[in-house]
Amino acid sequence: MTAPKKDFDFARPKTIEQLYNLVQECQHEGRQFIFSAGGTDIMPNLKSEILSPDIVISLTGLRALNNIEKQGDHIIIGALTSLSELCSNNNIQKYLPALARAAHKVASPQIRNRATIGGNIMVENRCSYINQSPINRESHSPCFKIGGDVCHLVKSAKRGDDILCQARFVSDTAPLLLLQNSTVNIIGPAGSKEIKLADLYLNDGIESKSLMHGEIITHIKVEITENSLSHYEKLTIRNALDFPSLGVAALRRGNGDISVALTGLNTRPGVFHAKLENHETSDDMIVDICRKANDFTVTYQQDFFPRGYRKNMISVFIRRAINKILEGAKS
Amino acid sequence: MKLLNLTINGRKHTKAVSPSMTLLDFLREELNLTGTKNGCDKGACGCCSVMIDDKPMLSCLLPALEAEGAAITTIEGIAKGNALHPVQEAMIEMGAIQCGFCTPAMVINGVHMLAKNNNPDDDEVKECISATVCRCTGYNSIEKALHLAASKMRRAAHDGS
C-alpha cells in the first residue's frame, strides 16, 4: 500500500485566517477536507482507505499553537505541541509528571516526535475489524463505520441502536487530562468557544467526538491540583507502538479523594470518584471504584489479549495505579 | 503537482511533487536515495526513519509537502565522505548487520540518541531502537554496537577537549 489509493490535494495554511479561507473555499466547491496535525494516525487511515478526502489540510503551519505555558493555577498546552516536547517540558515534568509518563507511553520515539497532544486526544476510535488492511476488510461485509449494515463485533447491532459502533477509545493522554479538569479551546467557522474535555467525548465509535467538521482544538487548559499525586498505568503486549489494551490514570487530591479515569475499555473514556472517609484511604474506596469501572467497561474480543484476561486486568491495573500513588504519599 | 523546497543531507532541492506522495517515496523514487527503506509503510516497522530538523521521524507517515523548508538527514548523509560515523563503525564491528534492511533506521536513531547523550544506559538504548524492527539479529548485537559507539564518541570527545 505504498501510496494512498485515492490522490488527495495538500495544503498547509500558516494562519488561522488562511485556514478558514481555505475551509470556506472547500465548502463552496464541495471538496471533502480533513485536518491533519502530526498525521501519524491520519496517514495509515488514508493508506488503508478508511479516509478518502479530496484535500488534507495540515495544521502544522500554525506555529502559534505549539507552546506550553503556565498561567496561574493552569498549564496551557498548545494543541500542536508534539508528544516528545510534552514529555521533556519542565512545567509538565514539575506539575503534571503523570501526563509526561502517559505521553511517553504513546507509540514510539519517532512517532512521538511527530504526533501532537491535540491529535492524541482526538485519536480515532479503533476496532479489530476496521483497522486492518483493505485486503482483510474485503473478506467481510462493510461495517457501520464505513457505511455498511453490520457490526462485526456485535452481530445483533442494528441501525437505530443507541450505540451503533463499538470501536474503542484509545487515547493515552486523555484520562489524566480528564482527571485534571481540563478544558479545550476550539475555533471553527462560527467562532471560538471553550468546552470541558469531558464534553468532547461521545458514546458512539463512529461519531466519537463532539467537535464539528471544520472546528479545530487550539489549546488544552489543564488545572494544576495542589498537593495531588497522580499516575498512569497501561496494559500492552509490547513496550512500544501498541495502543492501550487498557489504560488507567489515577489522581489523589490534597483532601484524600481518589479519582480514576479509564481508556481502551469503551467507546469513550470513563471517570470515577471515591471520597475519603475516616481520614484514611480504605480498601472499600478502591473496591468501589473497581466495581464502577467494571460496570462501565464494554469489552469484546477486540484486542491481542483475550476478553476475559482484559476484564480481569481492570481491577489489577486500578489497584496498581492507586498503590503507586499511595506509596508516593508515604514517602 | 506542487512545488517542494527542502534541504536533504545539506543539499537544497526544489521539485514538483504529487500532493499525496509520501516523503519516503519522494526520497526513494524521485531522488534515488534508496538507503531509507520501505518496510511496512504504515508506521509500524521504523525502517523509513529519517531525521527531520534533527529529530527522527517516520518518512512513510508524512506527505512530502509536509517537509517544506525542512532540513532532512537520511542514511546517505551520516558518513563524512569515506569516514564512517562511530555508530556505523560499531555496527560493523559488533556484527550488528545481517540482511541490512533495518540498518539505516537503526543508525539514524542511534546517531540521534548519542548526539544528545553519549553515555546512555541499557534502557535508553533499548528505547532508542524499540520501534525499529529487526528480523535477523535478535537486537543484542545492535544494543552492543550502540554502547560501543557511545564509548567511541566519549573517547573522541575526551581526546578532543
pLDDT of residue A3: 62
Contacts from B138-141 at CB under 8 Å and sequence distance 24+? Answer: B141/B94, B141/B95, B141/B96
Please answer yes or no on whether B20 and A8 come within 8 Å at the CB atom: yes
* Whether pLDDT at A146 is above 70: yes
Average pLDDT of B1-22? Answer: 97
Domain extent listing, chain A: 1-59, 68-122+168-330
- Domain of residue B150 covers 86-160
Question: Residue A6's pLDDT is what?
Answer: 81
Q: Which class does domain A68-122+168-330 fall in?
A: alpha beta
Q: What is the pLDDT of residue A5?
A: 67
Residue A328: the pLDDT is: 83
pLDDT digits (tens, 9 = 90+) for A17-26: 999 999 999 9
Tell me how far apart the alpha carbons of residues A169 and A208 are, in angstroms, rounded to a whole number. 8
Q: Which of A160, A162, A169, A127 has its CA nearest to residue A145?
A: A127
Domain check: are B34 and B56 in the same one? yes
B84 has a chain A CB within 8 A of its CB: no
Residues A95-132 have pLDDT tens digits of 999 999 999 999 999 999 999 999 999 999 999 888 88
Look at residue A4 in the predicted model and tell me its pLDDT.
Answer: 67
Query: Average model confidence (pLDDT) for chain A?
Result: 94
What letter represents residue A138's amino acid? E
Topology adopted by domain A1-59: 3.30.43
Instruction: List, for residues A183-216, the tens digit of each pLDDT value.
Output: 999 999 889 999 999 999 999 999 999 999 999 9
- Is the same domain home to B129 and B90? yes
Alpha-carbon dihedral A176, A181, A187, A191, rounded to 10 degrees: 170
Residues B98 and B129 in one domain: yes
Q: What is the predicted pLDDT for the residue at B64?
A: 97
CB atoms within 10 A of CB B92: 12
Residue A190 contacts residue A230 (beta carbons within 8 Å): no
Residue A2: predicted pLDDT: 56
pLDDT per position as a tens digit, A4-40: 668 999 999 999 999 999 999 999 999 999 999 999 9
Give the number of domains in chain B: 2
The domain spanning residue B38 has which CATH number?
3.10.20.30
Percent of chain A with pLDDT strictly greater than 70: 98
Q: Does B10 lie in the same domain as B64?
A: yes
Which residues, in sequence order, are CB contacts of A287 under 8 Å at separation 6+? Answer: none
Quick check: B42 and A48 CB within 8 A?
Answer: yes
Determine whether the interchain pair A12/B57 forms a contact, defined as Cβ–Cβ distance below 8 Å: no
Any chain B CB within 8 A of the CB of A240?
yes
> Measured between CB atoms, which of B19, B56, B63 is closest to A110?
B56
CA A259 from chain centre, in angstroms, equals 18
Asked whether residue B7 falls in the same domain as residue B61, the answer is yes
Of B77, B111, B133, the residue at which a domain comes to its end is: B77
Q: Are residues B27 and B62 in the same domain?
A: yes
- A136 min Cα distance to partner chain B (Å): 15
Of B45, B77, B109, the one marking the end of a domain is B77
Instruction: Give the per-residue pLDDT at A138.
Output: 86
Same structural domain for residues B34 and B92?
Answer: no
Residues from chain A contacting residue B68 (CB–CB below 8 Å): 12
- Which one of B3, B53, B61 would you mutate to disrupt binding with A, by most A Cβ within 10 Å of its Cβ? B61
Selected residue with higher pLDDT from A302 and A28: A28
Q: How far is B159 from chain A (nearest CA, A)?
A: 31
What is the reported pLDDT for A282? 86
User: Does A10 sit within 8 Å of B130, measured CB to CB?
Assistant: no
Interface check for B141 against chain A (CB to CB < 8 A): the answer is: no
Distance (Å, whole) CA B89 – CA B26: 28
Report how far residue A254's alpha carbon sits from residue A228's, in angstroms, rounded to the nearest whole number.
5
Residue the block writes with cell 487548559: A221
- Smallest CA-to-CA distance from A117 within A78, A62, A91 is with A78
Cβ–Cβ gap B65/A10 under 8 Å = yes
β-partners of residue B7 are B12, B71
Q: How does pLDDT run across B34-52, given as a tens digit for each residue?
A: 999 999 999 999 999 999 9
Count of beta carbons in the 10 Å neighbourhood of residue A74: 18
Residue A331 has pLDDT above 80, yes or no: no
> How many Å apart are CA B15 and CA B26, to the nearest integer?
10
Same domain? For B152 and B91 the reply is: yes
CA-to-CA distance for A37 and A82, rounded, in angstroms?
9
Kindly state the average pLDDT of the residues A157-172: 93
Minimum-distance CB partner of B41 among A1, A58, A60:
A1
User: What's the one-letter identity of residue A37?
Assistant: A
Task: Encode B90-122 in three state secondary structure.
Answer: HHHHCCCCCCCCCHHHHHHHHHHHHHHCCCCCH
Nearest CA-CA partner of A302 in A88, A129, A59: A129
Average pLDDT, chain B: 97
Distance in angstroms (rounded) separating the CA atoms of residues B126 and A286:
35
Residues B71 and B91 placed together within one structural domain of the fold = no
Q: What is the CATH number of the domain that holds B135?
A: 1.10.150.120
Q: B53 to chain A: nearest residue by CA?
A: A113
Please give the Cα distance from A59 to B66 (Å, whole number).
10
- Closest partner residue to A58 among B22, B43, B66, by Cβ? B66
Average pLDDT rounded to a whole number, residues A86-96: 97
- Does B161 score more than 70 pLDDT? no
First-last CA distance in chain A: 52
Least confident of A99-113, A150-164, A305-319, B130-144: A150-164
Mean pLDDT of A45-56: 92
The answer to whether A90 contacts chain B (CB < 8 Å) is no
* Residue among A12, A46, A114 minimizing CB distance to B68: A12
Find, among A151, A167, A157, A243, the residue nearest to A204 by Cα.
A167
Among candidates A62, A168, A65, A79, which has minimal Cα distance to A120?
Answer: A79
User: Do B10 and B62 fall into the same domain?
Assistant: yes
